[in-house]
Amino acid sequence: MIIQNLPLADAVLVDAEPFSDIRGIFSRFFCSRELAPVLGDRHIVNVNYSLTSMKGSIRGMHFQRKPHQEMKLVRCIRGAVYDVIVDIRPDSPTFLQWYGEMLSSNNMKMLVVPEGFAHGFQTLENDSELLYLATAHYEPSAEGGLRFDDSALGIQWPLVVGDISEKDASHPLIEGGSKLLDRFL
């Protein structure tokens, strides 16, 4: 596994090192030893799955409030998505900055979403599937979200927005960064 630092503080991208021969490909998707510099003393407690049927659909931008924040390791196992993270930690040097990366079953990249980040994606192909490895149990009362189209963030989605849930389309807009500490975290 090749771990690459991203422009947002504490966020990384993990490239697989697949082995291929005439039979096909073998690749390690997760290794606690190789990911120890990223995971620290955290442990994976959930492995979640999503299937998004329609190209152009958006899921997100989701996060968990303290004390239930989670690190997520996200990998596309079928199709392709444009995966986006936003740093919502008020004390971070990259506060309210976003980063997007194409994840696909072909490139086998894994995006590490640190605690204190919002996360979402847009499907680039029909029937795209993702696996999420999470370091904390989901707590519905700690769930939060940002609007995918908030002009304060300026996320540049690659496709016209297709399907989006009513819940995701109605997350609050950012009305000044300082309010995030009280409203979101």
- Residues with a catalytic annotation lie at 62, 132
SS3 per-residue string spanning the chain: CEEEECCCCCCEEEECCCEEECCEEECCCCCCCCCHHHHCCCCCCEEEEEEECCCCCEEEEEEECCCCCCCEEEEEEECEEEEEEEECCCCCCCCCCEEEEEEECCCCCEEEECCCEEEEEEECCCCEEEEEEECCCCCHHHEEECCCCCCCCCCCCCCCCCCCCHHHHCCCCCCCCCHHHHHCC
Among 12, 16, 20, 11, residue whose Cα is nearest residue 30: 16
Tell me the two tokens of residue 170: 């109605």
Q: Could you tell me if residue 108 is left (phi over 0), alpha (psi between -120 and 50 degrees) or otherwise beta? A: left
